[in-house]
Amino acid sequence: MTSTSGMLVTSRSELNIEDYLPPGSSINEPRGKLRLLDLIDISPTLTEAAGAIVDDSFTRCFKSNPPEPWNWNIYLFPLWCFGVVVRYCILFPLRCLTLAFGWFIFLSTFIPVHSLLKGQDRLRKNIERVLVEMICSFFVGSWTGVVKYHGPRPSIRPKQVYVANHTSMIDFIVLQQMTAFAVIMQKHPGWVGLLQSTILESVGCIWFNRSEAKDREIVARKLRDHVQGADNNPLLIFPEGTCVNNNYTVMFKKGSFELGCTVCPIAIKYNKIFVDAFWNSRKQSFTMHLLQLMTSWAVVCEVWYLEPQTIRPGETAIEFAERVRDMISLRAGLKKVPWDGYLKYSRPSSKHSERKQQSFAESLLARLEEK
């Protein structure tokens, strides 16, 4: 707005706006004579902005909808209080013990296997694969996860990649408890980053930093190498590139569809009856997200392994990605929106803003000249 004001001030210094007003009119007229219709007629930009406010389909993709309160009267409030006591004082401690027990078993087995079987890679990888699936099962158990899987279980084959819609980092855990995937994931700080660089590294996971342009070339090369290996774990990619609130799907990145291999779609749908599984990483750490899940009644989820797809003759990678997104959206009941999820992490370029400002100034002056 500052740049727009500056542009209008410059124009005003060169032109006398009073000359463009009808006879007898003045810029100092009382405000009561200014009509909303005139404002909208002056600049289509105002209409565009009003439409964006009314129907902002981009922002809605990354908002969690809070549940409607049901403890609004004297009969329901005691039941709600009882539920809080059960969830926080009984279920939560039991779930913490379950998760701690799972970590004890995992670490007491994983560390010796990882250290002592260095020369027996095949055996070591098989044991580590089973252990990672086990700890993920303990995680799902710590949320009282109720997950229903549809379709054949993924298998280890060369030249295939699995793609899924993305709601939270727990998508990886939900899928990992059935099959040890090698996932492509953003590098995270803290204890999550420690797990990434140690335990998850053993199943062939690939990490990247979204802000590093060089990482894209490195990841692309690792992807091509991974899908060629006959003994590598199945490759899992979330082509949206960011977490979406499980009501929508944003555009799929085409990189997953340029590998020249079979693409196996996975549709994930969470039931929000007990808790919203969407993770808004800008407002909530993953630790707090896990605590939210562990203090809910249950996490209810359905997973569909859909029919594998290959690129059709004459079909571009972008068209292939859209066709797979159609399949996932239809199966999970999600709405498609034409947005790039990476816009969540970036601001509009200055050139785009300047073009909008120039268009606004030109339309305003043209309207004044008509007067």
Nearest to 172 by CA among 181, 207, 203: 181
267 forms bridges with which residues in the sheet?
304
**Long-range residue pairs from 23-29, CB within 8 A, at least 24 positions apart, any chain:** 25/371
Per-residue pLDDT of the chain (371 residues; tens, 9 = 90+): 444 444 444 444 444 545 555 555 554 555 445 555 555 555 565 666 655 554 566 778 888 777 777 777 788 888 889 999 999 999 999 999 999 999 999 999 999 998 888 878 888 888 999 999 999 999 999 999 999 999 998 888 888 999 999 999 999 999 999 998 988 887 777 788 788 777 888 888 887 776 665 667 777 788 888 888 778 889 999 999 889 999 999 999 988 898 889 999 999 999 998 999 999 888 888 899 999 999 999 999 999 999 999 999 999 999 999 999 999 999 999 999 988 877 776 655 566 667 767 776 777 677 666 65
Q: Is 176 helix (H, G, I), strand (E, B) or coil?
A: helix
Query: Which pLDDT score is estimated for 11?
Result: 43
What backbone torsions phi and psi does residue 340 show, to the nearest 5 degrees?
A: -90, 120
The Cα 104–Cα 5 span in angstroms is: 63
pTM of the model: 0.76
Q: Is 30 helix (H, G, I), strand (E, B) or coil?
A: coil
Query: Which pLDDT score is estimated for 284?
Result: 86
First-to-last alpha carbon distance for the chain, in angstroms, is: 25
Tokens of 268: 């994930």
Q: Among the residues of the chain, which ranges form H helices?
A: 2-14, 36-42, 44-54, 57-60, 76-86, 92-116, 121-142, 170-176, 190-197, 214-228, 286-294, 317-332, 350-370
Query: Which pLDDT score is estimated for 351?
Result: 65
The Cα 250–Cα 338 span in angstroms is: 6
DSSP string of 222-286, one letter each residue: HHHHHHH-SSSPPEEE-TT-S---SSEE-PPPGGGGSSSSEEEEEEEEEETTT------TTTS-H
Burial pattern 217-237, b for ≥16 Cβ within 10 A else e, equals eebeebbeebbeeeebbbbbb
The Cα 159–Cα 38 span in angstroms is: 61
| 3-state secondary structure string across 189-207 | CHHHHHHHHCCHHHHCCEE
The Cα 203–Cα 136 span in angstroms is: 13
Write the CB contacts of 87 (distance below 8 Å, at least 6 apart in sequence). 295, 296, 297
Write the CB contacts of 48 (distance below 8 Å, at least 6 apart in sequence). none
